[in-house]
Amino acid sequence: MTKAKRNRLIYNIVTYALVIAAFILLQSMIANKSISRSLKGQLVPICSWIVMAVSLNLVIGISGELSLGHAGFMSIGAYTGAVVSGWLLNSFAVESTLLRLVLAILAGGIMAGVMGALIGIPVLRLRGDYLAIVTLAFGEIIRSLVNVLYIGVQDGHLCFSFLNRNMPEGVTMLVDGAKGAVKIKPISTFAVGFVLILITLTVVLNLVNSRAGRAIKATRDNRIAAESMGVPVTKYKMMAFVTAAALAGMAGALYGLNSSTVVPTQFTFNQSINVLVFVVLGGLGNVLGSVISATLLTVLPEVLRAFSDYRMLVYAVVLILVMIFTNNPLIRSFADRLIAPLKQLLRGKKQGGDEA
Amino acid sequence: MTQVKRRANTKMVPVQSDAIVPERDADKAPVLEARHLGIEFGGLKAVDDFNLTIGKTEIAGLIGPNGAGKTTVFNLITKVYEPTMGAVLINGRDTHGMNIVQASKLGIARTFQNIRLFDQMTVEENVRIGLHNQIKYNMFTGMLRLPGYWKQEKKQHERALELLHIFDMEKLADEQAGSLPYGAQRRLEIVRALATKPSLLLLDEPAAGMNPHETEELMENIAKIRDQFQIAILLIEHDMSLVMGVCEGICVLNFGRIIAKGTADEIQANPVVIEAYLGKKKEGQA
């Protein structure tokens, strides 16, 4: 096995192991009732934010396109999930919460994936800043649309409208305009969230180390060279974008079905920036980093509730610091010099281990 | 619209009379035929009436002073630009309306003047991108790690190392491409291009930044590649020792037009070429 391959394998194993270990630890803590109520309530959101961060990392870190509308896909997933779950319960009397949850998540993923494809076709022709601006606009459009969306269910039929007064009499409302998706039965569980994380990790990590993933990375590193090697660039950009959108939709469905209401204001531009902060702080292209930073940055604001007014301010400062420290060659070389002896030490140890 | 109109007006002649190919390729179909090729950038004719035929196993050179339009010719052949006049035929097929990817699939591969490697990927991964259309499996096979994935990945790995062996670069397989020394990056670009299994390899200043020793090595390698893969090579180069040493047919470009064609000896003795490079003697000066 080559060195690069071994490093990759170790990285993947560590990523999976960390997630699984955290799950087992938390489950046993829940069983022992040694977990605080507030943290317990945070578990499912943490799962969805991890999925959000990892999927956005696929677009930003691996495909190299700045997308600022990720919360838009999440809201599509959340609404679809809420509607599908309500519909299944109301019209098909599906009592099993697990079945409803799984179907809702799948529907959320598919819906967001389809939207991702529709948006991707025109948007992925753009590059850099333009792509960022258009995805940002898309996120806002989605939010404005669901703000006036009414969906009801009656006798097994779904009714859609953008006007409340068009709804027939005696309909059970599932989505009620600006009030959002209402009367959701919270059915999300930590276990399903955990499985969703594992699926996301598998999809993203396996994709990265495959033919398609290499094509995506090549497109990021040098578009013209990739095309000259016969790699259809748009196809692979699309693949990354749609996969990320579908995963974000799944995360949205999980997130939406965790509470009794979903409102459009939950998925604003700020939320997209939040996920972006997870990704940048965890490291572009670094999946494990995304998992860790999404977890920490979801838990910390709860713990540091007293400073919540300053959260966005701190995020902005942190983003700027990260940019300075990762892109300034002077600071980078300084950091490298600081780390070098440590690396040497590690390498020395490893070689010693090999000889023994 | 205008493009179609112009193309219809192209004057067609029976096979160019000035086409030269090596004798051994005379009875085989040429790899590349450029016929009256030209491109205008807003009224400026960057390349005009460019005719070139390259034999199946020919090593051809494209030389000329800076700004003569050499790289533009490469960009026309590889379809980075769509020509506004004339046609490019690869293995007898007209490439009109094709994009870069389709041209690559027809069998053109290139390197770049300013190295364009996939910097953040490993050397082996760079070569594997070249193998993208050679050894395939679909996205879901990759995501789900089906048996096809392991089989094809193994094939890709072995083929990549085989190709890296041409320049004795197997040991560098795990290095990050962007961190390689300059000469190795140039060699890697050639390996990556070869991985696409081209019938015509375009090298844009392969010896730029190399020392005389490295250039000599490169010269041998270019000949070796041609012999081993039986492909045609067209190279742009300013290093005359390399061009004169390895190229069979040479084509000289100045201000977007061909000013001379011939073998190394013919080109060296051609007064028009000397004038283009060194300028004209003033009347009365000794």
pLDDT band for position A171 (cuts 50, 70, 90):
confident
Query: Among the listed ranges A66-70, A211-215, A242-246, A330-334, which one has the minimum average pLDDT value?
Result: A330-334
Residue B252 maps to a domain: yes
Report the chain A residue with the minimal C-alpha distance to residue B140.
A207
Q: What would the 3-class secondary structure string for A282-304 be? A: HCCCCHHHHHHHHHHHHHHHHHC
Contact with chain B for residue A218, Cβ under 8 A: yes
pLDDT recorded at residue A353: 42
Higher pLDDT, B160 or A1: B160
Average pLDDT on B185-196 reads 94
In tens, the pLDDT along A3-53 reads: 777 888 888 899 999 999 999 999 998 888 888 888 888 899 999 999 999
| Alpha-carbon distances of B13 from B16, B18, B35, B71, B79, rounded to whole Å | 7, 12, 9, 26, 23
Q: Which two tokens stand for residue A251?
A: 């995360």
Residue B173 maps to a domain: yes
The answer on pLDDT for B4 being more than 50 is no
One domain, residues B177 and B227:
no
The answer on pLDDT for A269 being more than 70 is yes
Residue B286 maps to a domain: no
Residue B53 maps to a domain: yes
Residues of A in contact with B193 (CB under 8 A): 228-229
The answer on pLDDT for B264 being more than 50 is yes
Out of B163, B197, B231, a domain closes at B197
The answer on pLDDT for A57 being more than 80 is yes
pLDDT recorded at residue B2: 45
One domain, residues B100 and B203:
yes
- Is A225 close to B116, i.e. CB distance below 8 A? yes
One domain, residues B95 and B203:
yes
One domain, residues B193 and B203:
no
- Is A228 close to B78, i.e. CB distance below 8 A? yes
pLDDT recorded at residue A155: 78
Strand partners, B54: B32
**pTM of this prediction?**
0.86
One domain, residues B101 and B121:
no
One domain, residues B17 and B133:
no
Q: How far apart are CA A21 and CA A1, in angstroms?
A: 27
- Is A222 close to B118, i.e. CB distance below 8 A? yes
The kind and range of the H/E element at A330 are helix A329-355
Residue B282 maps to a domain: no
Q: How far apart are CA A325 and CA A319, in angstroms?
A: 10
pLDDT recorded at residue A243: 95
- Is B104 close to A217, i.e. CB distance below 8 A? no
| Alpha-carbon distances of A22 from A85, A295, A323, rounded to whole Å | 29, 11, 30
The answer on pLDDT for A74 being more than 60 is yes
Counting DSSP H helices and E strands in chain A, the numbers are: 13, 3
Neighbour tally for A125: CB within 10 Å: 12
pLDDT recorded at residue A118: 92
User: What percent of chain B stands above pLDDT 90?
Assistant: 47
- Is B101 close to A239, i.e. CB distance below 8 A? no
- Is B139 close to A4, i.e. CB distance below 8 A? no
pLDDT band for position B198 (cuts 50, 70, 90):
very high
- Is A211 close to B130, i.e. CB distance below 8 A? no
Nearest by CB: A214 against B129, B143, B145: B129
Q: Which domain holds residue B149?
A: 116-197
Residues of A in contact with B138 (CB under 8 A): 212
Question: Which residues have C-beta within 8 Å of that of residue A315, sequence separation ≥ 6?
Answer: A273, A274, A277
- Is B144 close to A206, i.e. CB distance below 8 A? yes
Q: How far apart are CA A214 and CA A218, in angstroms?
A: 6
Neighbour tally for B41: CB within 10 Å: 11
Q: Where residue B120 sits, what CATH number does that domain have?
A: 3.40.50.300
One domain, residues B156 and B131:
yes
Q: In sequence order, what DSSP letters do the residues of A207-272 get, joined into one string? A: HHTSHHHHHHHHHHH-HHHHHHTT--HHHHHHHHHHHHHHHHHHHHHHHHTTSS-B-GGGGSHHHH
Report the chain A residue with the minimal C-alpha distance to residue B74.
A228
Q: Of A142-151, A238-247, B15-24, B275-284, where does the model show the most confidence?
A: A238-247
One domain, residues B101 and B139:
no
Q: How far apart are CA A350 and CA B4, in angstroms?
A: 65
What domains are there in chain A, each with its CATH number? 3-303 (1.10.3470), 310-356 (no CATH)
Nearest by CB: B132 against A2, A231, A239: A231
Nearest-Cα distance to chain A for B9, in Å, is: 30
Average pLDDT on A250-263 reads 92
Report the chain A residue with the minimal C-alpha distance to residue B120.
A221
User: What percent of chain A stands above pLDDT 70?
Assistant: 96
One domain, residues B99 and B202:
yes
The answer on pLDDT for A213 being more than 90 is yes
Residues of A in contact with B179 (CB under 8 A): none
pLDDT band for position A148 (cuts 50, 70, 90):
confident
pLDDT band for position A323 (cuts 50, 70, 90):
confident
Residue B6 maps to a domain: yes
- Is A222 close to B119, i.e. CB distance below 8 A? yes
The answer on pLDDT for B30 being more than 80 is yes
Contact with chain B for residue A221, Cβ under 8 A: yes
ipTM for the predicted complex: 0.85
One domain, residues B76 and B202:
yes
Nearest-Cα distance to chain B for A285, in Å, is: 11
Q: Which of A229, A234, A236 to mutate to test the interface with B (most CBs of B within 10 A)?
A: A229
pLDDT recorded at residue A158: 81
Report the chain B residue with the minimal C-alpha distance to residue A203.
B143
Q: In sequence order, what DSSP letters do the residues of A103-117 get, joined into one string? A: HHHHHHHHHHHHHHH
pLDDT recorded at residue B14: 54
pLDDT recorded at residue A354: 42
The answer on pLDDT for B286 being more than 50 is no
Strand order in the sheet with A172-176: A157-161, A150-154, A172-176
Out of B197, B232, B259, a domain closes at B197
Question: Which residues have C-beta within 8 Å of that of residue B49, sequence separation ≥ 6?
Answer: B36, B37, B38, B85, B86, B257, B258
pLDDT recorded at residue A131: 86
Report the chain A residue with the minimal C-alpha distance to residue B105.
A230
Q: What would the 3-class secondary structure string for chain B be? A: CHHHHHHHHCCCCCCCCCCCCCHHHCCCCCCEEEEEEEEEECCEEEEEEEEEEECCCCEEEEECCCCCCHHHHHHHHCCCCCCCEEEEEECCEECCCCCHHHHHHHCEEECCCCCCCCCCCEHHHHHHHHCCCCCCCCHHHHHCCCHHHHHHHHHHHHHHHHHHHCCCCHHHCCCEHHHCCHHHHHHHHHHHHHHCCCCEEEEECCCCCCCHHHHHHHHHHHHHHHHHHCCEEEEECCCHHHHHHHCCEEEEEECCEEEEEECHHHHHHCHHHHHHHHCCCCCCCC
Residue B283 maps to a domain: no
Out of B138, B164, B197, a domain closes at B197
Contact with chain B for residue A1, Cβ under 8 A: no
One domain, residues B36 and B129:
no
Average pLDDT on B122-133 reads 93
Contact with chain B for residue A187, Cβ under 8 A: no
Report the chain B residue with the minimal C-alpha distance to residue A205.
B143
How many CA atoms does the CB half-sphere of A346 hold within 13 Å? 5
Q: In sequence order, what DSSP letters do the residues of A148-181 get, joined into one string? A: T-EEEEETTEEEEESSGGGSPTTPEEEEEGGG-B
Residue B84 maps to a domain: yes
Report the chain A residue with the minimal C-alpha distance to residue B135.
A211
In tens, the pLDDT along B224-245 reads: 999 999 999 999 999 888 999 8
One domain, residues B97 and B127:
no
pLDDT band for position A126 (cuts 50, 70, 90):
confident
The answer on pLDDT for B7 being more than 70 is no
pLDDT recorded at residue A348: 62
End-to-end CA distance of chain B: 54
Number of domains in chain B: 2
